[in-house]
Structure 1
């Protein structure tokens, strides 16, 4: 097996050059086929600008594609991320080629249909080539070829997780050859264990080790320096996986900040560009719902007015994104009353709830006016449900991570609600489970997760035995 591993390592640079040339050849071939497709009867009818743009773009690709980190090792990294980078790189190359035809005042001669055929054909071919290459490498690594032997240093939470991921995905080609662990850290059977730090260099040279993954806590910086110094003369790749899983915050994302590596510990995944897309979806969805349900909203408002004196709507102060105070709209489901300094949640048989209000609360129809808050950008369709201000003051002292749920916009429905945690939270345990589900949603948010929650809310999330 070592022969195959050394062969791949030895010829890595040549393989990278071969893949680069294959990409350029793919771009040219897709352009040639696009010309055949666009001008099937007379190939010569294609204006010269088509050939110029094609060859010019091939030259540009030799410069642009490597800049997107497409020819380094993607072992252990996501193929989806690779595909996204590849499409972004090709899109830039294509746009540069089209821009060149504009600068040459030849856009009138350039066939738009040809450009479309060329773009789509090249994108599909490049993705297919990468998937095929990725699959072949994964197959080879799965049977033990092109593997890298790894020594894990530190077997706490992060070290155990790295071991789990490496052993669960044999296609990545990482083989755990040894583990350096403290006396109080149990290691898997069958994996050589090192307990003396001074034995690490000896072990690494004896086996030999291709990579070392340091999974020690930040507090062990001196120990990490000693290990790195002891291996300074060895040709071993060293990766540091900061033990950030010990921080119970929202995420652990590396970024370049002012030219320095920085770790974001508390930034929700739903911010940034994806957050903008979520906001666009929220407002569009709210506009459609309010338009389609406007007759129902009018009927509910009339029934509330008829059932008891007072307004059809009322507003409650809640905490929005990053703790900003917002006013949440709801249909009034109780008789008009006032509470001083305390908020009493509705309970089963609560005399304050009107007959129509009981139905609205049981079916969550009293929440429909909150689509107005979504339309105003104060709430999301999906997110942690907003709690009463008094409850925030109480639970933020009793539940350590309670206030993290306010790092995103509150929602009309959420992960906790479709899992049965809605309505009255009369015990600390109930609130803890709701917060646990809210934080799971924030940490694992995706657009498709929102779609799933909306789908399940339509079937089972509007009613519940705890909603009074």
Structure 2
């Protein structure tokens, strides 16, 4: 059976081969020119390993560069990411060449000055040529030349956002000419409104549409299948942009599972490498805090012991990351009493000792939780751990309540520095706290953690709402 290809695809394939050959030529040319500068008789007068490296790496670009996506379409791609891919691909080829010289026992004959100069010059030329080509294409596309006609299927919040981005990024060369919208709401002026998939099919074929963008919600799986089936014989690109924004999730990320691409839903941003870095920061900060505050800790422990009978520390089981129970440490602020469940302190609570009232108002009773951080049960910044009885109560009353347990609880948090400390005697107060906790998880960054720590250190230790 004959393979059907479009003229555009044939032109793109020819350009790909030209780009590949051009990259190999640049690698060889830089090696030869650097040889003419560094060696009296050029590469011919140098050790043969230099010519071997030049030829090997020039051929290597033909094999390695395509694997880094350097010859894919540049439309809609980041210029910085493209430059990083070029540097990564060339670095791999260069290192592979040096390894080959090492295995041949010729690495000692390679001129360090020539090899470093060659590496730097090739990297500079490859990046510069692509930046120039990238900007030239962008300038041409801004004039409407070589524009790619697109139909958007689904005009909800995500479809609207995608359309606005196309308007702002005219240099990408995309032009939205039709929108499939089941609702009765208007579509932007100058864009065809398509109300059935049959209308979409006829419009795509009549108007020479090159791409279809699917921005349907996750619930519309059947519609996705229908779109792909309708265009199974058409030479158009179909992009699916999952409408994850319409679902209340902590976050998402793309990964590979069992060799298949997957989207991890409800994935907190504090995971993987970032989670490891945050955990390392927490332990270093906790160790420094305990060392620096050790005189104050000893003084508080002595005062607690002298002013009321009982242990210095109060331990209570709380839920940590992913619901794992742990013992949280606090300085004891109440007299020993029979425990009939968890009853929050109220103004004038007779159970609170005189020194305990001062500790609670200044949050100094929380300082032993730095030991919890060292143990890995808690973080310096995160949602405050609630009593288990409160978890059982509020998880049925407040939507997404238990999502706060997808990260480690913290000594301080975004809710606390925004005034949501102390007693939560109403469901609305707890709901507000949960909203701030979820916001922190969704927008986590080291900068946000440092901001919370700084604000806590300056004025986050006291409050009239703490009894």
**If the length of structure 1 is used for normalisation, what is the TM-score?**
0.81
Deviates more, 1:117-126 or 1:258-267: 117-126
Aligned: 1:333 with 2:322? no
Aligned: 1:92 with 2:92? yes
1:266-292 Cα deviation digits (max 9, x unpaired)? 222322233223222322332333333
Please give the alpha-carbon distance, in whole angstroms, between the structure 2 residues aligned to 1:296 and 1:32. 69
Shift, 1:118, TM fit: 6.5
- Equivalent residue number for residue 303 of structure 1: 303
Aligned: 1:72 with 2:72? yes
- Equivalent residue number for residue 371 of structure 2: 372
Identify unmatched segments of 5+ residues in structure 1. 1-5
Aligned: 1:238 with 2:238? yes
Distance 1:315 1:122, change over 3 A: farther
Shift, 1:307, TM fit: 3.8
Shift, 1:446, TM fit: 3.4
Once the two structures are superposed, the pairs formed by residues 384-399 of structure 1 within 5 Å of their partners are 384-399=383-398
Task: Give the aligned length.
Answer: 461
Shift, 1:130, TM fit: 5.2
Aligned: 1:205 with 2:182? no
- Say what the alpha-carbon RMSD is for the aligned residues: 3.8
Shift, 1:142, TM fit: 4.5
Shift, 1:391, TM fit: 1.2
1:3-42 Cα deviation digits (max 9, x unpaired)? xxx99987544554555456556666887899999x7999
Please give the alpha-carbon distance, in whole angstroms, between the structure 1 residues aligned to 2:154 and 2:112. 57
Shift, 1:392, TM fit: 0.8
Please give the alpha-carbon distance, in whole angstroms, between the structure 2 residues aligned to 1:364 and 1:40. 71
Please give the alpha-carbon distance, in whole angstroms, between the structure 1 residues aligned to 2:29 and 2:363. 58
Please give the alpha-carbon distance, in whole angstroms, between the structure 1 residues aligned to 2:117 and 2:357. 60
- Equivalent residue number for residue 466 of structure 1: 465
Identify unmatched segments of 5+ residues in structure 2. 1-5
- Equivalent residue number for residue 3 of structure 1: none
SS in 1 for 2:386: coil
SS in 2 for 1:397: coil
Shift, 1:413, TM fit: 2.7
Q: Are 1:155 and 1:185, in contact at CA under 8 Å, matched by a contact in 2?
A: no
- Equivalent residue number for residue 318 of structure 2: 318
Deviates more, 1:159-168 or 1:129-138: 129-138
Q: Are 1:314 and 1:330, in contact at CA under 8 Å, matched by a contact in 2?
A: yes
Shift, 1:193, TM fit: 1.3
Please give the alpha-carbon distance, in whole angstroms, between the structure 1 residues aligned to 2:39 and 2:285. 45
Please give the alpha-carbon distance, in whole angstroms, between the structure 2 residues aligned to 1:356 and 1:226. 70
Aligned: 1:175 with 2:175? yes
SS in 2 for 1:163: helix
Once the two structures are superposed, the pairs formed by residues 13-412 of structure 1 within 5 Å of their partners are 13=13, 15-17=15-17, 19-20=19-20, 52-53=52-53, 55-79=55-79, 81-82=81-82, 84-106=84-106, 133-341=133-341, 343-412=342-411
SS in 1 for 2:373: helix
Aligned: 1:414 with 2:413? yes
SS in 2 for 1:64: helix
Distance 1:82 1:444, change over 3 A: farther
Q: Are 2:32 and 2:42, in contact at CA under 8 Å, matched by a contact in 1?
A: no
Once the two structures are superposed, the pairs formed by residues 435-446 of structure 1 within 5 Å of their partners are 435-446=434-445
SS in 2 for 1:398: coil
Shift, 1:397, TM fit: 0.7
Please give the alpha-carbon distance, in whole angstroms, between the structure 2 residues aligned to 1:76 and 1:425. 48
Please give the alpha-carbon distance, in whole angstroms, between the structure 2 residues aligned to 1:153 and 1:174. 15
1:287-345 Cα deviation digits (max 9, x unpaired)? 3333333333333333333443333322221111111111122233333434322x223
Deviates more, 1:125-134 or 1:388-397: 125-134
Distance 1:90 1:401, change over 3 A: farther
